[in-house]
Structure 1
Amino acid sequence: MVAAIDNPILNGPYDAPSRHFELGTTGPTGEIQDGRRPSESFIPVPSPRKGQKGQQALDLDVSGERREKNPLINDIRYEVGLWRQRGYPGVSPISRKLLQHWADPTRENRVMFCQREAAETAIFLSEVSGRHGTTDFRRQIDPQNDLHNDGLPRIALKMATGTGKTVVMSMLIAWQTINKVYSPRDARYSKRFLVVTPGITIRDRLRVILPSEETNYYRERDLVPGDLWGALREAEIIIANYHAFL
C-alpha cells in the first residue's frame, strides 16, 4: 500500500473513465492501469464465534472483507458503452434526440458522464436490451424483482453523493414524459410520477424537478431541447414525504 498519491485524479468528469489506480489486497498500489475499474463489492465477513475456527477465504483483503466482482453490472456497462459508441440504435426518435442532446460535447453546460451513463442505462434496459442483437438483461433482473419486489419492479442506479442524482431524476422524467406525449399508447412510458422523499428538507429541495418551477433543472442544466418543452410541461409530478403514507 502506498503512503500517498500525489494526484489521485486520472479522468475528466465528462467522458468515460479510461484509467484507474490498481487496488491490491492491502490497498492502493499507486500503479495506474488502463481501462475503467471493474465494479466489485467489498462484503464484510463475520468473525468466527468463540471456539470455532474461522475458514480464511483466499479473496479476503487486509480489511477482512471479501472482494467479489459484480458481473451483471460490468456486463451492462460494457453493452451500454458499445451502444453509446454506435449512436444509440434501437431507441425511439425522442429518446435518441435526448441522448444526443445530453452527449453533445459542444454544449456550454455539459452533462457529467456519470449522469449520462445512469440515464443511458435506464433507457437501454427499457428500450433496447434483448433486441437488436443485445443481451436481454431482463432475464436476470426480472426474477429478482419477482422475488423481492413482486408487483413493484425496481432498478437501482447507484451514484455517489454529490454526483447529481437529482439531475438524473430530471433526465428520466423528461425521457418518460416527452415520449409519452408523442406516443401516448406506448406502455413503456408515463407522464405521471410519484417521488417519495425521506424528509421535508429533501422534499423541498426536489422542487427543481418540477418543470413549472422558475429554477427548474431542465432549464438550468439545459436537459431538454427547446422544441420539446411543450411536451415536458405535461408532466404530472407529486413529491411527497414518506410520512404521508404511514
Structure 2
Amino acid sequence: MNNYNSQLSMLSLPQKLKELVLKWREEGYKDATEKTKRLLDFWFNEAHELGDGTEFEYRNAQREAIETLIYCHEILKVRNLYELNRALGEPLPAVPSSYIWPKYAFKMATGSGKTMVMAMAVVWSYFNDYTKNFLLIAPNLIVLDRLGTDFIDGKIFRKYPLIPTEWQGGFQLDVIGADDSPIPKKPAVLPGLSDLKDAAATMLRWFNLK
C-alpha cells in the first residue's frame, strides 16, 4: 500500500505543479524577476522571424518546461525533489542529505525541443546572474555531435530568438568543446561525458570550484 501511495503521489505532483505554473502564467508571472519577465514576454508573446524569413514560435512543451524550471527556482525557491514535495504538501521521497547540488529534471519526448530548452535555461541563468558557467553532459558521441552543432561558436543563440535585441551586446559566452583547453572567460562546456563522477570532476577542474 505504501508503494502504491508513493506512485500516486508521483503522478499527482506533476499535475499539481502544472496547474500552479499555468495559474502563474495567467497572473503575468507574478513575483518573477524583471529580467525573467522580459525573457518570458520576449519568447512567448512577441512575434519572431528567423534569418531566412521563416516565422518562428516556441513549442508548448518548451514553454511549459522553462516556465516550470523558473517557477520552481524563483517562486517556490526549491532546489530538489525533496524541497518540491515539501512545498507542495506531498510525501517526502528522500532525506535532504542525498542532494549535494540543486537538481531539476524534465521528461520531454524525442523531437519536442530539449536542446532549445537548454539554451533558454542558459540565457535565463546568465542574465539573472544565477550562474555564467554551464556544463552540458552528453550520453554518447552522437548526442555530443548534435549539441556541438548547435552550441559551438554560439550558433543557437544567434540563429533563434533567445535574447532580446537590447540585451545581445551583453551576452558574452565562450563555448568550448570537450577536447579544448580551458580559457579564462566564462564558458558553456560540451564534454562528451555520461559518467556523472567524471562530469563533476571536469566541472570542478575547469571552473576552479572547491
Q: Same fold (TM over 0.5)?
A: yes
- Distance in 2, matches of 1:221 and 1:208, equals 14
CA distance in 1, matches of 2:168, 2:127: 9
Residue from 47, 68, 71 that aligns with 1:121: 68
Partner of 2:191: 240
Higher helix share: 2
Tell me, in whole angstroms, the C-alpha distance in 1 between the residues paired with 2:41 and 2:191.
32
Q: 1:223 aligns with which of 149, 162, 173?
A: 162
Output the amino acid matched with 2:168: W
Q: How far 1:202 moved relative to its partner?
A: 1.4
**Aligned partner letter, 1:222:** P
| Aligned residue identity for 2:192 | N
The answer for unaligned runs of 5 or more in structure 1 is 1-56, 58-65, 181-188
Distance 2:94 2:43 in 1: 30
Q: Compare CA radii of gyration and give the structure with the larger one.
A: 1
Which residue does the alignment assign to 1:86? Answer: 27
Deviations 1:67-93 (A, max 9, x none): 887111001000100011111111111
Measured at CA, do residues 101 and 129 of structure 1 come closer, stay the same or move farther in structure 2, by a change above 3 Å? Answer: same
Alpha-carbon distance change, 242 to 148 in structure 1, aligned in 2, over 3 angstroms: farther
CA drift of 1:150 comes to 2.4
Structure 2 counterpart of 1:169, which letter?
Answer: M
Residue 50 (structure 2) pairs with residue 101 (structure 1): no
Choose between structure 1 and 2: higher strand proportion: 1
CA contact (8 A) 2:39 2:124 kept: yes
Structure 2 CA distance for partners of 1:151 and 1:68, relative to 1, 3 Å: closer
**Residues 168-218 of structure 1, C-alpha deviation per residue, up to 9 Å, x if partnerless?**
0000000001111xxxxxxxx1110111111122112112553733xx222
One-letter code aligned to 1:119? I
Alpha-carbon distance in structure 2 between the residues aligned to 1:209 and 1:201: 13
Q: Provide closer, same or farther for how the CA distance between residues 93 and 209 of structure 1 changes in structure 2, counting only shifts above 3 A.
A: farther
1:174 partnered with 2:149: no
Equivalent residue runs for 1:198-209 within 5 Å: 198-208=139-149
Q: Give unpaired runs (5+ residues) of structure 2.
A: 49-54, 174-185, 200-210
Inter-partner Cα distance in structure 2 for 1:167 and 1:79: 23
Following the alignment from structure 1 to structure 2, what is the Cα–Cα distance between the partners of residues 236 and 109?
A: 27
Report the number of matched residues.
168
Over 3 Å counting, the alpha-carbon distance change for 1:156 and 1:223 in structure 2 is same
- 2: CA distance between counterparts of 1:96 and 1:72? 25
Contact persistence 1:114–1:163 (CA under 8 A): yes
1:152 Cα deviation from its structure 2 partner: 2.8
Alpha-carbon distance between aligned partners in 2 of 1:207 and 1:104, rounded to the nearest angstrom:
29
The residue type paired with residue 111 of structure 2 is G
2:134 touches 2:188 (CA, 8 Å); kept in 1? yes
Instruction: Establish whether residue 110 from structure 1 lines up as the match of residue 51 from structure 2.
Output: no
TM-score by length of 2: 0.69
RMSD of aligned alpha carbons = 3.1
Amino acid at match of 1:167: M
Distance 1:175 1:208, change over 3 A: farther
